Amino acid sequence: MRKKIIGAAMLASSAAMAQNVMSPELLWSLNRVSANTLSADGKSVFYASKKYDIKTEKGKTTQYVVNIATGKKSKFASAEGKNIFQQSNNVWYASDDKFIYQSTDEGASWANIRATIADADNYKVSPNGKYIAYSKEVLVSPTLGKDLYKDLDKTTAQVYTDLNYRHWDKWSDGKFSHLFIEQIKGGAAKDLLKDLPYDCPQKPHGGAEDFVWAPNSESIVYVCKKKFGKEYALSTNTDIFLYNVKTASTSNLTEGMMGYDMNPAFSPDGRYLAFTSMKTDGFEADKNDLVILDLSNNYKRNMTGHWDETVGSFRWSNMGEEIFFIAPWKGTEQLFSVMIPGNLMAKILAPIQQITNGDFDITGIVGETKAQLILTRTDMNRATEIFAANKSDGKMAAISHENDDIYKGIRKGKVEKRYIKTTDGKEMFAWVIYPPDFNPLKKYPTLLYCQGGPQGALSQFYSYRWNFQLMAAKGYIIIAPNRRGMPGWGVKWNADISKDWGGQAMDDYLSAIDDISKEKYVDKSRLGCIGASYGGYSVFMLAGIHNNRFKTFISHCGLFDLKSWYGTTEELWFANWDIGGNYWQENTPKSYEKFNPSNFVDKWNTPIMVIQGGLDYRVPIEQGQQAFQAAQLKGIKSNFLFFPNENHWVMHAQNGILWQREFFKWLDETLK
């Protein structure tokens, strides 16, 4: 009898657990999975799982190895205390505070091969093991008062004589990230940028992917925008340079290619170099193509120029006859491939093959086995896990299961596709996310989600801030339209947003909320509009033109006044291309009048919450301040949520939790 009682209690506990819905605390408790590499025999995957402690805001990373066929997982204990920075040719490299280590048995044992290099990061060892490349900050153009005047070591002054004096979330201190090469056994280090004011890796987000050793170790290629000051702030023209170790000579491999040239990767035999390339200088969201360079004759071939989509990350196949790549595709991110012709100069189109298809995002390509590709994948109801996909048909099976136990106890919201007729007669795709246990006979408050970018893909992403599963769990329906400007629907659809920020895209948003509002289960008296970055701009813009559709607004790091934004933002190439230029030029762009949210404040009449990061130099603090001040002076219910130590995003765990609590508190108050 006692066993039956215990069994019943366990069933009751299990049933109660299954009644959970996502919460901010549960969201931050998820394990964050990142895949590293395959084992030498291709049978196992090495990966890391990171878990945050909300109280300390520190993350603890555990390394694992999992068998692809059996799913058997074990801890990769030999990595304890070491940062693995490279795995290639069955040789692994790691570092700690004192030494650089090498392993030839996949981490079972480690040999100390040299001391670490002071203040260096982004290590890469040459394939022959003779050289090490690394990046390191170098003082090139002193701007801090204490560097300019050595006798004033307490001064906090900063002196600037040119632009690009701050970027993303940091003020310039006169230091630049330079690429160095030296022998692994030590010796004189060679600065490849020769004390010039250029960066490699590229700031603010570049890393070790910005420089790559050739398979024969005789050269290294690196990405650099060799511009400084105003030129840097106005241009996206990065190039790929090849440095010959023997001759100490440098050549520009992408001379005359005027946009972003990034992500260089050698073919396994070293014959070709693949990279992504944009044509237009200043257009950061231009079509991204996959280009192949034959290093024997410098012939370049655009492998995707005939394809009406844009390329994301990519990886060479093991044999070098094919390249796998990820690209936005109709509201998702999918895996594609393109074959490399035996004759690169052959006048034939290289067909693009789609490998995966479904309501999910492929977020990374880990490696290749004989019959499968190892990938990372996510969707709106699940954080990143590792999957194996058949090359032949794209069918997928999960390899890692870091969050399965948590998700077993969470009721999911249904996610549906919806097509909407726009004001100019086009078909627009949207995702609709419903609350768990959705009942079409009830009425639900509904949120219009406005995506940033403005050319960012609105796909099956999983965010730890803008989390649709969490919003749905709070009882909201969310409609997330792929309005003008988003990739995955052809190059023209993606480009049409530029210089038309407040035009057709705003009509697209209103079409989306009007369309979903026709449903009986949508409470038209409780509609909200939310978004960040360009999505935050959209919120400010819609607040002046929505004609009383919405009952509440939330804008995070949104652009409120385009004139003051142009005068304080840093990457001016973006403003010049997307807005049309500065506001004092002879033919002033129409954006400053027709599409400037501050010009429509007289129409504001709806509660609005404004969120701003103090370290956001892309959309600086005055944008949020002006919007909040305008709302307050107009007597509109408003709230200003300020994070002094956050940039364009929210990176700290407790700030992230507070963001969620304040976000839903505001919605509770204004969508009653």
CA distance 21 to 409: 8
Q: What is the dihedral of CA 204, 206, 207, 213, to 10 degrees?
A: -150
Q: Are 327 and 315 in contact (CB under 8 A)?
A: no
Q: Are 596 and 559 in contact (CB under 8 A)?
A: no
217 is catalytic: no
Which position among 178, 546, 556, 648 bears the catalytic label?
A: 648
Q: Which residues, at least 6 apart from 111, have a Cβ–Cβ distance to it below 8 Å?
A: 101, 102, 103
317 is catalytic: no
Q: Are 482 and 459 in contact (CB under 8 A)?
A: no
**Helix-, strand-, coil-residue percentages of the chain, each rounded to 5:** 20, 35, 45
- φ, ψ dihedrals at 89, nearest 5°: 50, 40
Which position among 379, 496, 515, 616 bears the catalytic label?
A: 616
Q: Are 361 and 327 in contact (CB under 8 A)?
A: no
The amino acid present at 108, given as its one-letter code, is: A
Over the range 172-196, which residues count as b (16 or more CB within 10 Å of their CB) and which as e? bebbbbbbbbbebeeeebbebbeee
- Rounded to 10°, the helix 504-516/534-543 angle is 70
162 is catalytic: no
Alpha helices (H) in 391-533, listed in sequence order: 404-408, 468-473, 491-495, 504-516
Which position among 533, 538, 555, 598 bears the catalytic label?
A: 533
CA distances from 371 to 168, 269, 392 (A): 42, 21, 8
The amino acid present at 495, given as its one-letter code, is: A
Alpha helices (H) in 367-410, listed in sequence order: 404-408
- The 3-state DSSP class for residue 61 equals strand
CA distance 614 to 644: 4
Q: What is the DSSP letter of 629?
A: H
Continuous segment of H or E residues that includes residue 244: strand 239-244
Question: Measuring CA to CA, which residue among 554, 479, 533 is closest to residue 509?
Answer: 479
Alpha helices (H) in 200-295, listed in sequence order: 230-234
Continuous segment of H or E residues that includes residue 191: strand 190-191
Catalytic residues: 533, 616, 648
